[in-house]
Amino acid sequence: MKIVTNSIENLSEEFEHLQKSLEGANYCVSLEWKKFKFDNDFYFDLECLKKLFPNEDVRGKIVLSNFDAAKKDVKNAMSHFSYESGMVAITSDENITTSRESCFWNILSHIFSLPPKIIYKHEPDFDSYFGPYIMWDFCYIFLNEKKTTSKEGVVISGAAWD
């Protein structure tokens, strides 16, 4: 795969409101999203991820995944809740989780067609830029091919730590 360098867009600010709603009194949350175009085949490897995040120490491996796994990881992330006492737990209120999940996927679907054609997951080494973090983390690469334009992809990642 050859990433078209001048096509890389950092769209993380689209998640800013959702990110703030996930933060707790005693932990931080990061949601990142980069969109890009690519040429050639659909093979995405660690070098591609490094090209999208050139200023970060990205280590680990890239593996094929599926949309159900991505949805499960996002649901886990969206279900964490911070109580006024400072405790963090998985909320039992499905309305909170559903609302957050819906917000996440709606933001993404406005700019990228879901479900994607091919999905990869980054499995980080311990001290890689993308985790693993204390509470939760994920990093997925979604790839599509539009009939009228070039091939496009997105990297979506999230993490929470104290």
**pTM assigned to the model:** 0.87
Average pLDDT, the chain: 85
Alpha carbon distance 61, 47 (integer Å): 10
Alpha carbons within 13 A on the beta-carbon side of 68: 0
For 137-161, write each residue's pLDDT tens digit.
Answer: 899 999 997 655 679 999 999 888 7
Find where tokens 């769209």 sit.
11
SS3 46: helix
Residue 155: its H or E element: strand 151-161
Q: pLDDT at residue 37 above 80?
A: yes
Domains and CATH numbers, the chain: 23-161 (3.40.1000)
Residue 132: is the preceding peptide bond cis (ω within 30°)? Answer: yes
